[in-house]
């Protein structure tokens, strides 16, 4: 078994290697003057089971291309099996056509990864679980919720309501609530009454006086979760926690998340968080 890391999240790869009691394999990665990438595996991997760890987080296209080149290099070096470990799957939100003449980019990415030579995929908290079906190779879909739930349980919170920030996330929130002693569930329902009229948010469920735990797969610009929190406070929630596996944190997420509306924002390290993006309410749990 050999483990190699792309450049997207070296910290997580090192933690995984430490956990397994092995070293990351030697690999050269270079960028040419014109921006092209170069990868060379620096030891024989002939006949080996190779694991390549690379979340395709920002800059998504670079990290995806690097993963494809790593897979191709391993295939051409006669690896027996190549598992692409993709803790965060970029383009997962482009999982279907919502208008004519659009790409289903999550499927395109699946084609590219398969075509490059991956024999297996391991991914975490896909935005849409059906993305597994975009691949015709074995796929392990794992969840970040156990490490987040462990942390929440250790806090001994009372009078909890688990909240899905949109209708699409209800199954995820329900599973979360079940693990928190079958806590009640609330859902934020977004409606647009007409074109060019701002969305109206409603809370379905009782949050008054409760500790609300908003659960999402990712926080990108923070708009969804911050709006949800504001509404929950308006509806009388006493405290609001936010939980998400993937800390995408595109601007202005940090401003939104650190505005004081959250007791804590609990995420995992599928995506590295630059030091500058830390704020007092942020809790990062490791998925290694
Ligand atoms: C949407 O369906 C996703 O589950 C997230 O709620 C969304 O992508 C988060 O994006 P943002 O933080 O920019 O609102």
Ligand 1 atom having least distance to the Cα of 219: 12
Residue 209: CB within 6 Å of ligand 1?
A: no
Give residue limits of the domains in the chain: 2-142, 145-285
Distance CA 161, CA 31 (A): 48
Q: Which of 213, 123, 199 is nearest to 169 (CA)?
A: 213
Ligand 1 atom having least distance to the Cα of 223: 14
What is the architecture, at CATH level 2, of domain 2-142? 3-Layer(aba) Sandwich (3.40)
Residues pairing with 186 in the sheet = 163
97 is known as an active-site residue: no
Distance CA 160, CA 158 (A): 6
Q: Which of 17, 4, 14, 8 is nearest to 52 (CA)?
A: 4
* Model pTM score: 0.95
Task: Please list, in sequence order, all residues whose beta carbon lies within 8 angstroms of the beta carbon of residue 260, skipping any fewer than 6 positions away.
Answer: none
Residue 217: CB within 6 Å of ligand 1?
A: yes
Q: Which residue ranges are tagged as binding site for Mg(2+)?
A: 127, 166
Q: Are 107 and 128 in contact (CB under 8 A)?
A: no
CATH of span 145-285: 3.40.50.2020
Per-residue pLDDT of the chain (288 residues; tens, 9 = 90+): 999 999 999 999 999 999 999 999 999 999 999 999 999 999 999 999 999 999 999 999 999 999 999 999 999 999 999 999 999 999 999 999 999 999 999 999 999 999 999 999 999 999 999 999 999 999 999 999 999 999 999 999 999 999 999 999 999 999 999 999 999 999 999 886 677 776 878 999 999 999 999 999 999 999 999 999 999 999 999 999 999 999 999 999 999 999 999 999 999 999 999 999 999 999 999 999
- Residue 159: strand, helix, or coil: coil
**117: number of Cβ within 10 Å:** 17
Identical fold, 2-142 and 145-285 = yes
Marked catalytic residue, from 30, 155, 190, 210: 190
Best residue among 58, 91, 95, 220 to mutate for probing ligand 1's pocket (most ligand atoms within 8 Å of CB) is: 220
For the record, the structure tokens of 2 come out as 């050999």
pLDDT at 198: 67
Residue 223: CB within 6 Å of ligand 1?
A: yes
Quote the ligand 1 centre to 221 CA distance (angstroms). Answer: 8
**274: number of Cβ within 10 Å:** 8
Quote the ligand 1 centre to 218 CA distance (angstroms). Answer: 6
Quote the ligand 1 centre to 248 CA distance (angstroms). Answer: 10
Query: Is the torsion defined by CA of 95, 225, 240, 237 positive or negative?
Result: negative
Quote the ligand 1 centre to 30 CA distance (angstroms). Answer: 33
- Token pair 């944190």 is found at 249
Task: Please list, in sequence order, all residues whose beta carbon lies within 8 angstroms of the beta carbon of residue 21, skipping any fewer than 6 positions away.
Answer: none
CA-derived radius of gyration, the chain? 20
Ligand 1 atom having least distance to the Cα of 217: 4
DSSP category for residue 181: T
Crossing angle between the packed helical segments 60-76 and 105-116, to the nearest 10 degrees: 20
Best residue among 216, 245, 257 to mutate for probing ligand 1's pocket (most ligand atoms within 8 Å of CB) is: 216
Residue 55: CB within 6 Å of ligand 1?
A: no
Could you tell me whether strands 264-268 and 239-247 are parallel, antiparallel, or unpaired per DSSP bridges?
parallel
Residue 216: CB within 6 Å of ligand 1?
A: yes
């Amino acid at each position: 078994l050999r483990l190699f890391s792309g450049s997207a999240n070296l910290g997580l790869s090192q933690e995984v290697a430490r956990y397994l009691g092995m070293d990351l394999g030697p690999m050269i990665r270079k960028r040419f003057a014109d921006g092209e990438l170069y990868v060379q595996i620096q030891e024989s991997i002939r006949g080996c089971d190779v694991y390549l760890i690379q979340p395709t987080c920002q800059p998504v296209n670079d990290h995806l291309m690097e993963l494809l080149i790593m897979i191709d290099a391993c295939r051409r070096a006669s690896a027996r099996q190549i598992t692409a470990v993709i803790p965060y799957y970029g383009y997962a939100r482009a999982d279907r056509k919502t208008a004519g003449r659009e790409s289903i980019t999550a499927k395109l990415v699946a084609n590219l990864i398969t075509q490059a030579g991956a024999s297996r995929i391991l991914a975490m908290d896909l935005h849409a679980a059906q993305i597994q079906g975009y691949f015709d190779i074995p796929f392990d879909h794992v969840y970040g919720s156990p490490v987040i739930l462990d942390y929440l349980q250790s806090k001994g919170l009372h009078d909890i309501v688990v909240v899905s920030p949109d209708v699409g996330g209800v199954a995820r929130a329900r599973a979360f609530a079940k693990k928190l002693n079958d806590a009640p569930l609330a859902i934020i329902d977004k409606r647009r009454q007409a074109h060019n009229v701002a969305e109206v948010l409603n809370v379905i469920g009782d949050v008054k006086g409760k500790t609300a735990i908003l659960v999402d797969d990712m926080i990108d610009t923070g708009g969804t979760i911050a709006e949800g929190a504001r509404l929950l406070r308006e509806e009388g929630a006493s405290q609001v926690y936010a939980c998400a596996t993937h800390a995408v944190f595109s601007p202005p997420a940090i401003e939104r998340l650190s505005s004081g509306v959250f007791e804590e924002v609990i995420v995992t390290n599928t995506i590295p968080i630059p030091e500058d993006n830390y704020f007092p309410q942020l809790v990062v749990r490791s998925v290694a």
